[in-house]
Amino acid sequence: MIILKKITLLKAVISRQRVAHNTIGFIPTMGALHEGHLALVKKALEKCHFVIASIYVNPAQFNNQEDFKKYPITLEEDILKLIRTGCHAVFLPHTNELYPNGIENLAHYPLGFIESILEGEHRPGHFQGVCNVVDRLLQAVKPDYLFLGEKDAQQCKVITKMLALTNQMIPVEIVPTKRANSGLALSSRNKRLSDIGLTKAAALYRSLLFVKKNLIYGDNSRLLEVAKAELIQAGFDSVDYIAIAKEEDLSDATNWNGKDPVYILGAAYIEGVRLIDNTHFVS
Ligand code: AMP
């Protein structure tokens, strides 16, 4: 596997692939890799000749400095996992490389409504930071396909919008969420949980399944309140949201019309760690 730190070298490697008419698949990550990330790499290997992942903990997308400082970093293990999975290259940029003018005064993407709801509401500025880093990475890699995880369903929508706003015609492949046997969605942040916390954290997915199972035509606000209360009962410290949203644009579907496909999404804190998850429902 080729390890790249400089954009100039990255571009040289990519252009050799282009000359050979190889298709390029790209997987942006923040590292502390797990089977969820590797599922994206595997999907990319099925679809593309040359697969490149990036590992970069993007300071511009953290609205909470404590969360940034505590973000797990396991670079050597990550590189081994990528090699074993068959990834062809990994890009490990330094901040100076991606943000030569620093992380202040970044580009602003007119994302509209999608960045003011759910994650956007609870993490102001987060999606602008995500768009800035992904846009910069894409400018460097210029892949044929971009691979994203459905675990971050809203991020998938935001990045798709950013691609449209910046006229980048890159198809996005969305890969289903990988879970532990308990149902807990794999996440780098799970590494910060104690064994007890990990067991309790599975309640987040259970609560989403509970909403899915009991979803009714009409007003589901009472159901959402019960699901939130159950999360607290199960040991979560606080709940940012449990929501029902239209699959199409993530607009609120608490008042469900009985036919629109929806996501049921949740974000909650346990042991000071913020976890998110979602499940999809088609009637
Ligand atoms: P992150 O390193 O958390 O920024 O995630 C990098 C990519 O991996 C994103 O597209 C995520 O949606 C995806 N991802 C994270 N966790 C999972 C998971 N459990 N299953 C599938 N994809 C995931």
Instruction: State residue 76's pLDDT score.
Output: 98
Where does CATH 3.30.1300.10 sit in the chain?
188-277
pLDDT bucket at 206, cuts 50 / 70 / 90: very high
In the chain, list all ranges with CATH 3.40.50.620.
2-175
Among the listed residues 3, 81, 9, the one whose alpha carbon sits nearest the alpha carbon of residue 41:
81
Cβ of 129 below 6 Å from ligand 1: no
Q: Is the dihedral of CA 3, 178, 207, 230 positive or negative?
A: negative
CB of 278 closer than 6 angstroms to any ligand 1 atom = no
Supply the pLDDT for residue 218: 98
Give the model confidence (pLDDT) of 129-158 as tens digits: 999 999 999 999 999 999 999 999 999 999
Residue of 26, 29, 150 best suited for mutating to test ligand 1, as the one with most atoms within 8 Å of CB: 29
Using the structure block, give the residue that is written with the tokens 């990519």. 14
Coil, strand, or helix at residue 201? helix
CATH for 188-277 (3.30.1300.10, 1.20.1250.20, 3.40.50.10710, 3.10.129.10): 3.30.1300.10
Q: Is 122 a catalytic residue?
A: no
Query: pLDDT of 26-59, one tens digit each?
Result: 999 999 999 999 999 999 999 999 999 999 999 9
For residue 136, give both structure tokens: 């910069």
Of 34, 37, 88, 126, the catalytic one is: 37
Instruction: Judge if the beta carbon of residue 264 lies within 6 A of ligand 1.
Output: no
Quote the ligand 1 centre to 149 CA distance (angstroms).
5
Ligand 1 pocket, mutate which of 37, 150, 275 (most atoms under 8 A from CB): 37
Q: 88 is written with which tokens?
A: 């062809």
Q: What is the pLDDT of residue 75?
A: 98
Which pLDDT belongs to residue 60? 97
CA nearest neighbour of 30 among 66, 61, 63: 61
Strands 255-256 and 218-219 turn out to be antiparallel
Instruction: Name the CATH code of domain 2-175 (choices 2.60.40.10, 3.30.2010.30, 3.40.50.620, 3.40.630.190).
Output: 3.40.50.620
Average pLDDT over residues 223-250: 98
Element (H, E) at 2: strand 2-4
Q: How far apart are CA 228 and CA 245, in angstroms?
A: 16
Q: Which whole number is the average pLDDT over 67-81?
A: 97
- Whether 137 is in the pocket of ligand 1, judged by its Cβ within 6 Å, is no
Contact between 166 and 137 (Cβ < 8 Å):
no
- pLDDT-derived band at 215, boundaries 50, 70, 90: very high
Q: To 5 degrees, how large is the angle CA 103–CA 108–CA 111?
A: 135
Would you state the pLDDT for residue 176?
98
The residue whose CA is least distant from atom 5 of ligand 1 is 29
Provide the pLDDT for residue 140. Answer: 98
Residue 82 CB-density burial (10 A; 0-12 exposed, 13-18 middle, 19+ buried): buried
Terminal-residue alpha carbon distance, the chain:
44
Q: How confident is the model at residue 71 (pLDDT cuts 50, 70, 90)?
A: very high
Cα of 278 to ligand 1 centre, how many Å?
13
Q: What is the mean pLDDT of the chain?
A: 98
> Does the beta carbon of 266 lie inside 6 Å of ligand 1?
no
